[in-house]
Structure 1
Amino acid sequence: MSRYLLNKFLFTVDRDPALVERYRSEPAELVTWWEGTVANSLLNSHTGEASTWLAFTAEERAALTAHDHVKLFELGAHPFLTLTLFIALFERDNTEPLEYQKAYGAKLAHLSLPYPDIAT
């Protein structure tokens, strides 16, 4: 399991509107594409350097594909990264102010301290 890789996925997808739309409409395809092309590149590097060992576990891939922010948090993904990306994905489906954010929090309400470790 790599919390770094989960957080890198959330961070990089959230910053590209085209990737946000692909993740919304075809999450499995985007996760597979991202893992194969972006996962092992160095974050914010333009030198062409890359690693070769980073990959999602089956559990991480399933949570990303299902847009399961609760499972992602349990796996150690940073809650602010999931929240900002998931707002971009789903807030447009709600009509009330902060409706999505409240639902997001309510789904995490069963968790109590100590929270899962989100350090990378």
Structure 2
Amino acid sequence: MSKYLLDKFLFTVDRDPELVERYREDPAGTVAWWEAEEANRILNCISDERSTWLAFEDAERDALVRQDHVALFEMGAHPFLTLTLFIAMFERDHGPLEYQLAYGAAMKHLSLPYPDIST
């Protein structure tokens, strides 16, 4: 499992409003496209600089497609990255702070020690 790759997906999608909308509307297509085109792009480098070995595991891909922030956290994705991206995607469908409270309530069953979120 690559916590780095999960966090990289969440980080890069969250910083592009068009990708946020694309992920909201077509999660499976966005995850597949991102994994094929962006996963091996080296952050902060010219576009031709790429690695060749990064890919999601099936469980990671499935959690991203389902937009399941609890499963992503349990895999070690950073909760601030899921929270900021998912607020951008879903807050508009809820009242003030309603989505954030639901986000927290969905993770209420988790107890210490939390999954390691270091990369």
| Same fold by TM-score greater than 0.5 | yes
| Alpha-carbon shift at residue 15 of structure 1 (Å) | 0.3
Q: How does 1:1-120 map to 2 (within 5 A)?
A: 1-46=1-46, 48-95=48-95, 97-120=96-119
Aligned length: 119
Give the whole-Å Cα distance in 1 for the aligned partners of 2:53 and 2:23.
23
Give the whole-Å Cα distance in 1 for the aligned partners of 2:84 and 2:112.
22
What TM-score do the two structures reach when normalised by structure 2? Answer: 0.98
Partner-residue secondary structure (3-state), 1:105: helix
Uncovered stretches (5+) of structure 2, i.e. residues with no partner? none
% same residue: 71
Aligned amino acid, residue 63 of structure 2 = A
Uncovered stretches (5+) of structure 1, i.e. residues with no partner? none
Q: Does the Cα contact within 8 Å between 2:41 and 2:47 map onto a contact in 1?
A: no
Q: Does the Cα contact within 8 Å between 2:41 and 2:51 map onto a contact in 1?
A: yes
Runs (4+) off by over 2 Å: none
Deviations 1:9-56 (A, max 9, x none): 000000000000000000000000000000001012125211000000
